[in-house]
Amino acid sequence: MTYLAKPKFHHPGLPKNELGYTHRDYEGTVSTLCAGCGHDSITGAIIQACFELAIEPHRVAKISGIGCSSKTPTYFLGNSHGFNSVHGRMPSVLTGANLANRDLIYLGVSGDGDSASIGLGQFAHCLRRGVNMTYIVENNGVYGLTKGQFSATADRGSKSKRGVTNTDNSIDMVAMALQLGASFVARSFSGDKEQLVPIIKAAIAHQGAAFIDVISPCVAFNNHAGSTKSFDFVREHNEAVNRLDFISTRMPIGLQQEPGTVEIVEQHDGSRIALRKLDADYEVHDRAAALGFLQHHAAKGQIVTGLLFVEKEAQDLHAHLDTVEEPLNKLGEKELCPGSAVLGQINAGLR
Tens-of-pLDDT digits for all 351 residues of the chain? 455 667 777 777 889 988 999 988 999 998 988 888 889 999 999 999 999 999 999 999 999 998 888 989 999 999 999 999 998 899 999 999 999 999 999 999 999 989 998 899 999 999 999 999 999 999 988 787 777 788 888 777 777 767 788 788 888 999 999 999 999 999 888 888 888 898 899 899 889 999 999 988 887 776 554 443 322 222 232 221 112 222 334 445 555 556 655 554 444 444 444 555 556 666 788 888 888 888 887 777 777 888 888 888 888 999 999 998 999 889 888 888 888 998 899 899 998
**Residue 72 to residue 108: CA distance in whole angstroms:** 11
- φ and ψ at residue 127, rounded to 5 degrees: -75, -45
Domain boundaries, the chain: 23-321
pLDDT in tens, 153-172: 877 777 776 778 878 888 89
Sheet with 209-215, side-by-side order of all strands: 81-84, 60-64, 105-111, 133-139, 209-215, 184-189, 303-310, 272-277, 262-266
**Residue 303 to residue 321: CA distance in whole angstroms:** 36
Q: Which residues of 201-238 are buried (b: 16+ CB within 10 A; e: fewer)?
A: bbbbebebbbbbbbbbbbbbbbbbbbbbbbbbebbeeb
pLDDT score for 167: 83
Other C-beta atoms closer than 10 Å to the C-beta of 323 total 13
- φ and ψ at residue 230, rounded to 5 degrees: -95, 160
pTM for this predicted structure: 0.81
Give Cα separations from 32 to 1, 28, 78 (angstroms): 8, 12, 15
In angstroms, the first-to-last Cα distance of the chain is 60
23-321 has CATH 1.10.3720.10 classification: no
